[in-house]
Structure 1
Amino acid sequence: MSEHVTACIDGSGYATAVCDYATWASQRLEAPLTFLHVLDNHPPPNEGDLSGSIGLGSREHLLEELASLDEKRARLAQEQGRMMLEAARERAIEHGVESAKARQRNGELVATLSELESEIRLLVMGKRGEAAHKASEHLGSNLERVVRALHRPILVVPEAFKRPERVLIAFDGSKTTCKGIETLAASSFLQGMTCHVVTVGAEIADVQAQLDWAVRTLEKGGVDARGEIRAGEVEPTLHAYQQEHDIDLLVMGAYGHSRIRHLLVGSTTTGMLRNTYIPLLLLR
């Protein structure tokens, strides 16, 4: 079974950028492209069971009306999803993808993606979904849960597409980032782009040796790579480097090197996701 670039499409303001970044990634990886829309069958918030508030006599009629409204709402949501998927598929084909699949599923997003995980080579998602808070410091709850649950690379994208040309890999020598370096070197994903491999830490022999290995590995794969060690706190140091070199794609491991090795909550990953305005590729 072939692995696809899978793009999660919903009604958020990120949908167009998700489509365009997924199209770009599919072309670079020479991998098939699938657009996925998941219909959550749970009722919208603040819509409780009204049966207890319905008086005698009219109760049966109103329950029938409520059931009919639920059915209409479900049909409309399904049709809206189909229209979004078809628009994304047509946009991808217009931008040079030979073919793209559209897939609609009923259920919960994380459970659906977990079920499809073996078919996913790269998952593309917006920073927030249509139900998330609009403020930039808030992440969509689905995004955090997806990153926890899946063991596939995840490309988290901003609201506007810009074709990446300069890449920053945050390299900490961990198994995750070493495996990521080897995977990226063996693929066509970084070909033709300038790749900056940056380690935040002390400039000592062991750290330099690890960084040299990462740069050599990428260069053997035909990637234009350069390495640098910088002192300081991880997040502000990476942001400063990003701005200095006009970086337009950030790559980092989902797990950090902190004492509490938990994913996302309170971690460097969360801070980078919240505060960066460029796409972030999370390695697993």
Structure 2
Amino acid sequence: MNQVIACIDGIGESAAAICDAASWASLRLEAPLKLLHVLDKSQYPTETNLTGSIGLGSREALLEELATLDEQRGKLAREQGRLMLEAARERAVEDGIAEPLVQQRHGDLVETLNELEVDTRLLVFGRGGAGQSLGHQVEAVIRALHRPMLLLPGEFKTPQRFMIAYDGSPTARKAVEMVTRSPLLRGIPCDLLIIGPSTHDVKMELKHASEQLQQAGFELNAEILAGDVEETLLSEIDKRGAELLVMGAYGHSRIRQMLVGSTTTNLIKHTQVPLLLLR
């Protein structure tokens, strides 16, 4: 469990941002960097079987032509991936990575990442959407893997301040513990926020998490705020100048209306800063 893996499956700025973020994390964690491109087997199958899909007459000729076209598409996609990986490798070297690894796989993305999970310390990938990497598979990746994940909405810049969205759940407690143990965010000022009622139990949860972070040497501002969870977090990110949001992924909270699965999904969709998801 020692590699930073960057999914270079997008085209353009998102691939560059993924590479920059992964290089930053690799240097902070002192972990090797692997740049990964997965060619989706559902879009680019190695074998084309169209038997029975075309009527009589010119069926054999059409089958042969379609198979040839599929083969050409696959070759072009592999070459495009190879070029993206080479560009990412060059960018990683510019970012200070001495020997970035590159790997191209043909298969299912989630299955591939599951195979690599045992050697994954951090997975870096894009949020998805038009022109960005992963797209509709983002949520499937997040639910399938049990490793820290850094999800990028677009551009990346080295965070000078980060925010932890905390709810007192086991997942959130583990996330705080992981932050305190890891060198990834060490030395960066932190805002620790609970969005919910200011009850005695909630205050104790905040106090416990704050003490852990302060003992680990973090410069910390900790608060309990009222309001809608998603709207308040997104607003506070802007107000406080946080450049990274940290939270547990798909946890179930003891504090009502805090970070449940749907909130995680909505924050993935709407946050404009990188999101570090911890399991």
For residues 262 and 216 of structure 1, the distance between their equivalents in structure 2, rounded to whole angstroms, comes to 21
Deviation sequence 1:153-174 (CA, Å, 0-9, x none): 1111022122111101001111
Aligned to 1:103: 103
Determine whether 1:211 maps to 2:206.
yes
CA gap 1:273/1:227 in 2 versus in 1, 3 angstroms: same
Matches within 5 A, 1:62-73: 62-73=62-73
Matches within 5 A, 1:179-258: 179-257=174-252
CA shift for structure 1 position 113: 0.8
Length-normalised TM-score, structure 2:
0.89
CA contact (8 A) 1:54 1:62 kept: no
One-letter code of the match for 1:221?
A
For residues 49 and 98 of structure 1, the distance between their equivalents in structure 2, rounded to whole angstroms, comes to 47
Aligned to 1:162: 157
One-letter code of the match for 2:33?
L
Aligned to 2:271: 276
For residues 261 and 119 of structure 1, the distance between their equivalents in structure 2, rounded to whole angstroms, comes to 32
For residues 250 and 115 of structure 1, the distance between their equivalents in structure 2, rounded to whole angstroms, comes to 27
One-letter code of the match for 2:161?
R
Deviation sequence 1:5-35 (CA, Å, 0-9, x none): 1111113342111111111111111111111
Unpaired segments ≥5 residues, structure 2: none
For residues 16 and 260 of structure 2, the distance between their equivalents in structure 1, rounded to whole angstroms, comes to 28
CA contact (8 A) 2:50 2:63 kept: no
Q: Which moved more, 1:64-73 or 1:79-88?
A: 64-73
Aligned to 1:85: 85
CA contact (8 A) 1:17 1:158 kept: no
CA shift for structure 1 position 271: 1.4
SS in 2 for 1:87: helix
Q: How many equivalent pairs are there?
A: 273
For residues 141 and 262 of structure 1, the distance between their equivalents in structure 2, rounded to whole angstroms, comes to 22
SS in 2 for 1:15: helix
For residues 241 and 259 of structure 2, the distance between their equivalents in structure 1, rounded to whole angstroms, comes to 30
For residues 176 and 259 of structure 2, the distance between their equivalents in structure 1, rounded to whole angstroms, comes to 22
One-letter code of the match for 2:165?
A
Aligned to 1:117: 117
Matches within 5 A, 1:18-57: 18-43=18-43, 49=50, 52-53=53-54, 56=57
Aligned-pair RMSD on alpha carbons?
2.6
For residues 252 and 106 of structure 1, the distance between their equivalents in structure 2, rounded to whole angstroms, comes to 32
CA gap 1:270/1:39 in 2 versus in 1, 3 angstroms: same
One-letter code of the match for 1:274?
K
CA contact (8 A) 1:148 1:263 kept: no
CA gap 1:254/1:68 in 2 versus in 1, 3 angstroms: same
CA shift for structure 1 position 133: 4.8
CA shift for structure 1 position 48: 9.7
For residues 164 and 228 of structure 1, the distance between their equivalents in structure 2, rounded to whole angstroms, comes to 21
Aligned to 1:74: 74
Length-normalised TM-score, structure 1:
0.88
CA contact (8 A) 2:123 2:149 kept: yes
Over the matched positions of the two proteins, sequence identity in percent amounts to 50
One-letter code of the match for 2:250?
Y
CA shift for structure 1 position 108: 0.6
Unpaired segments ≥5 residues, structure 1: none
CA contact (8 A) 1:7 1:22 kept: yes
For residues 257 and 200 of structure 1, the distance between their equivalents in structure 2, rounded to whole angstroms, comes to 14
Aligned to 2:142: 147
